Structure 1
């Protein structure tokens, strides 16, 4: 018998076994209230379609290795975009970028040819984002992590046609945090992000300004956008040629759009604001020396106090802020940020300069807490994430822009329970994102989340078989998306809508 027959037989058996076993992972009452779906009766045609996607699914079990950074190029630091009379101008543009020496790669960018600036806003300010589309296709501007009225959120409802513009006016009303922005047009998000549409947003407040944190932008406070890409033989970003329906990954790492980067730092404490801006790849960040560092923030704000960690994992869309103390290393030390496979992501070159002494205690950064009331709220919304490739669903449904899946009252906290149901191949981690809010993680599989998750979040990694409970409150009205932040899963239908009124 040929190998395809054996693979087919194994896959069909796994579907039957997987369907039976996964159906018994929850209580009968939970299953009924969650409208749990039994996928064990998938028809033959659908199973054959899923079998064709096995290669894509398997590529995430053993992902293609990343290149090691040679450190030959100094890391590009995005320009800061500050307000002028409360106004920020942000344009999505076509361009070419010299990523590889003497080669011009066609790219997209915000206010430039590739990636975007760091937009810095202050809590309490009323601001206007004047957005314009200078691409040759429709786009949107989604403010990931920003608490903003639904009409300005930039979801797929808010297309801006080529040559058109839109003003987004809102009051910044959340605590200091590192957020980001990217496009969100239905059916084109993954490709537009892949080509370069992404940038960071810094929210500052009185607390962040008073803390003795490294805050000299580009000197001891660095934005780091990690994205893996696959270039064709002409060094172009041919997205359709490398598209993987289970999440497109590549072998070439870019940090802030820089190939083979290095970062020059002083012998001092340095703040790194990490964003996983990839379409699908997860990163576990470590120092090659095994030394610990301090995490000070999650997606949406500071932890209550710094925590010492030796690694941190971010799935697509997640952010974290960490502090590395380079004063304990010498210039000749070989220090790099690496991933779990040991690939060199970002080498550091240590100089002798110091920006300032940071002697003030960092014990009290925030007063975040999950309250007893939030812990004891009944579950009001249950979601089941399921599937692979083109057959991803939430509660057995794929996205329909004309369908509202849930409603919620403005200002009221509800408990959302999200279950990542394993599929026949075992399942994938789904980074689950809710627009327009920062939520609290109440529990993961009934247990307290780790210390690194004791902070505001807008995206959470949910492993196959896991159930998480979130305390979710919307401070603004409108229609907001919730979805898997593997961008190809989002586009294949793993997305829904909640209307806040």
Structure 2
């Protein structure tokens, strides 16, 4: 980034923050906003951690030079040692192990040469600790996070969230895993210790000097970055040496835009015990698991009965239909300046090998039920007849949400929601290219009533431009997790959808959902506990940086 660009970005951010304080004074100036530079008197943390974002040289590939990365480093200042699990020689940040009810204070120091801020993806925290890009700090500055862990047991992760810088900073290493435990989980005999392992999946590209290569061509960025090397827990050619017993693997898609279809090479089904920051009510088995950027699944992988020296390979299995048809074809054979891609979106490739190295007989049994789960229904919402819209569209060179690009200091009327409310939200593709999303939204209530009567009348107007640019989008909502009410699939391409639909695990709490081209997803989301500005956006990180992001104002 040039000095001119840095100065301009700093000016724009400071201007946006100032405008936000004018537009939302009750939120930003009443103890929930403003840049937190120092610890709050009277907040007595159980955990205190110092985080530093900095550049580093890390050995990622087996041979040759080290790789220059951006890395989160952390030091435990107060609390149990197990709260911070270091990963030596790794570009990923340390694993944070939280307990429900803990009070946490984190001092974040920016030692990069550009702005940054951390988002605790999946944690339900106050606005000032959520990593909103308005709080991005400049090189040499400090930000203080303070929050209580309200989450139930599950898996989350943290990453950089500075607007226009998120994609490349995450790509260069600014991310790490979070686990939360609680009393309900501790009553279960789930694998723990050496049998509870991370499975952070990312894709990267390297040049001949082992340095990370990022995309800057507009065509590539509009589709999202795709690397040609798969890394698991920060390393290529991942192999896990396992015993003949059950393990818990916490799988997280830490890629910028790549979608994975996880499955065993021998066709053995996968068992899921948790999704997006929370355990399920009961285990679920799938032939494969779809995992979009930002999504997590807790997998119960049982190697009982396997012989020593057995090897199993977990693949990303083939699928199609997540990119516009023309882009998908160009990616496979090249065209319009796009190179043939060694690992196209939807291609088949190995993720990791699991080698059985020891025979044991003390494996835990898969529980029939896991944790208490309350299913939300339309009776719980206060807007059952008028769902809030999240209309996603891909206008040429301009990804939008609800017909708008991101603005830190603006919310639309329907984006203002009452604290304590539970909302029905409709996520869909907006094909009215001429009007963004707003012309379409005027008839929302009427079309929703038709939708209840007849699903076939629920489709968006299929403008040719919108259809040609349709692609899958992983939609992430900050704040509390939500539940998926239903998927409406009458407008999807059935042949493509058949290859992914059995991999969606929609029965648990979610914060990120993959919306396929032509698909509508309805969710029920609580807005409880905290006032403030909470983002919603596409978690294809290139799209997010292009402005495919908006925010709710909870007041």
TM tier relative to shorter chain: 0.7 to 0.9
Match of 2:356 among 344, 350, 353: 350
Query: Partners in 2 of 1:141 and 1:240 — Cα distance?
Result: 23
Query: Partners in 1 of 2:315 and 2:469 — Cα distance?
Result: 27
Is this contact kept in 1: 2:477–2:535, CA < 8 A? yes
Is this contact kept in 2: 1:410–1:500, CA < 8 A? yes
Map of 1:382 onto structure 2: 389
Deviation at 1:362, TM superposition (A): 3.6
Match of 1:137 among 96, 108, 114: 114
Map of 2:30 onto structure 1: none
- Name the SS for the 1:213 alignment partner: coil
Is this contact kept in 2: 1:398–1:493, CA < 8 A? yes
Q: How many residues align?
A: 417
Is this contact kept in 2: 1:303–1:368, CA < 8 A? no
Match of 1:227 among 197, 202, 209: 202
Query: Partners in 1 of 2:111 and 2:160 — Cα distance?
Result: 13
Query: Partners in 2 of 1:282 and 1:389 — Cα distance?
Result: 22
Runs of 4+ in 1 over 6 A off after TM superposition: 446-451
Given the superposition, is the C-alpha separation of residues 120 and 317 from structure 1 closer, same or farther in structure 2, using an over 3 Å criterion? same
Is this contact kept in 1: 2:471–2:517, CA < 8 A? yes
Is this contact kept in 1: 2:480–2:511, CA < 8 A? yes
Deviation at 1:84, TM superposition (A): 8.7
Describe how 1:410-425 pairs up with structure 2 within 5 A.
Answer: 410-421=419-430, 423-425=466-468
Describe how 1:422-441 pairs up with structure 2 within 5 A.
Answer: 423-425=466-468, 427-441=470-484
> Does 2:453 match 1:491?
no
Given the superposition, is the C-alpha separation of residues 481 and 372 from structure 1 closer, same or farther in structure 2, using an over 3 Å criterion? closer
Greater Cα offset, 396-405 or 307-316:
396-405
- Name the SS for the 2:271 alignment partner: strand
- Name the SS for the 1:413 alignment partner: strand
Query: Partners in 2 of 1:389 and 1:200 — Cα distance?
Result: 35
Match of 1:370 among 376, 382, 387: 376
**Structure 1 vs Structure 2 CA RMSD:** 2.3
Q: Could you say which structure has the greater relative contact order, defined with CA pairs below 8 angstroms and 6 or more residues apart? A: 1
Query: Partners in 1 of 2:187 and 2:542 — Cα distance?
Result: 41
Map of 1:468 onto structure 2: 521
> Does 2:434 match 1:457?
no
Map of 1:409 onto structure 2: 418
Describe how 1:392-407 pairs up with structure 2 within 5 A.
Answer: 392-405=399-412, 406-407=415-416
Deviation at 1:401, TM superposition (A): 1.5
Map of 1:317 onto structure 2: 294
- Name the SS for the 1:473 alignment partner: strand
Map of 1:210 onto structure 2: 187
Is this contact kept in 1: 2:425–2:523, CA < 8 A? yes
TM-score by length of 2: 0.71
Describe how 1:324-335 pairs up with structure 2 within 5 A.
Answer: 324-335=301-312
Given the superposition, is the C-alpha separation of residues 256 and 99 from structure 1 closer, same or farther in structure 2, using an over 3 Å criterion? same
Given the superposition, is the C-alpha separation of residues 241 and 361 from structure 1 closer, same or farther in structure 2, using an over 3 Å criterion? closer
Given the superposition, is the C-alpha separation of residues 294 and 239 from structure 1 closer, same or farther in structure 2, using an over 3 Å criterion? same
Map of 1:36 onto structure 2: none
Is this contact kept in 2: 1:483–1:496, CA < 8 A? yes
Greater Cα offset, 367-376 or 290-299:
367-376
Greater Cα offset, 433-442 or 228-237:
228-237
Query: Partners in 1 of 2:366 and 2:548 — Cα distance?
Result: 46
Deviation at 1:399, TM superposition (A): 1.1
- Name the SS for the 1:245 alignment partner: helix
Per-residue CA deviations over 1:284-328 (Å, capped at 9, x if unaligned) read 000111111311111031111111222100110001011111012
Per-residue CA deviations over 1:30-61 (Å, capped at 9, x if unaligned) read xxxxxxxxxxxxxxxxxxxxxxxxxxxxxxxx
Is there any run of 5+ residues in structure 1 with no aligned partner, and where? Answer: 1-82
Match of 2:531 among 457, 469, 477: 477
Map of 2:449 onto structure 1: none
TM-score by length of 1: 0.79
Map of 2:213 onto structure 1: 238
Map of 1:90 onto structure 2: 51
Given the superposition, is the C-alpha separation of residues 388 and 288 from structure 1 closer, same or farther in structure 2, using an over 3 Å criterion? farther
Given the superposition, is the C-alpha separation of residues 360 and 107 from structure 1 closer, same or farther in structure 2, using an over 3 Å criterion? closer
Given the superposition, is the C-alpha separation of residues 416 and 328 from structure 1 closer, same or farther in structure 2, using an over 3 Å criterion? same
Query: Partners in 1 of 2:505 and 2:143 — Cα distance?
Result: 37
Is this contact kept in 1: 2:309–2:357, CA < 8 A? no
